[in-house]
Amino acid sequence: MNFRFVTLYIFLRLNPELNKLNPSEVEFKKRDLKPLGWLMLRFFSITKFIRYREYINNDNELMISTTNFTIINTVLCWCGPLHEATLSRILMLIQV
């Protein structure tokens, strides 16, 4: 197996009840994001390459939560939660 896949799997979230992988996410304050960064997040969200949401945290700050920009996370955004074997097959097909 490709070393990059192995290291990226570390950052995915496993749903133990379903035994399926979910995309990993990152959160940050919206005020820390520059206009071009916000535009790129919106573009990739509209084109379904990432998941993007805004919310207000406990400190009343506007936050952004988005999936990471990896091929693995993009496949999980397109297909939903997947078993590791299924995800691996899809990723191998993409590389061929």
For the stretch 3-26, pLDDT in tens is: 554 454 556 778 888 889 999 888
- How far apart CA 56 and CA 58 sit, in angstroms, is 7
Say whether pTM exceeds 0.75. Answer: yes
Structure confidence at residue 36 (pLDDT) = 94
Q: Do residues 66 and 51 touch, judged by C-beta distance below 8 A?
A: yes
Q: Which residue type does 81 have?
A: P
Six-digit token string for 48: 């379904």
pLDDT tens-digit series, residues 21-50:
999 888 999 999 999 999 999 999 999 999
Structure confidence at residue 68 (pLDDT) = 87
Give bridge partners of residue 69 from the DSSP assignment: none
pLDDT tens-digit series, residues 45-64:
999 999 999 999 999 999 99
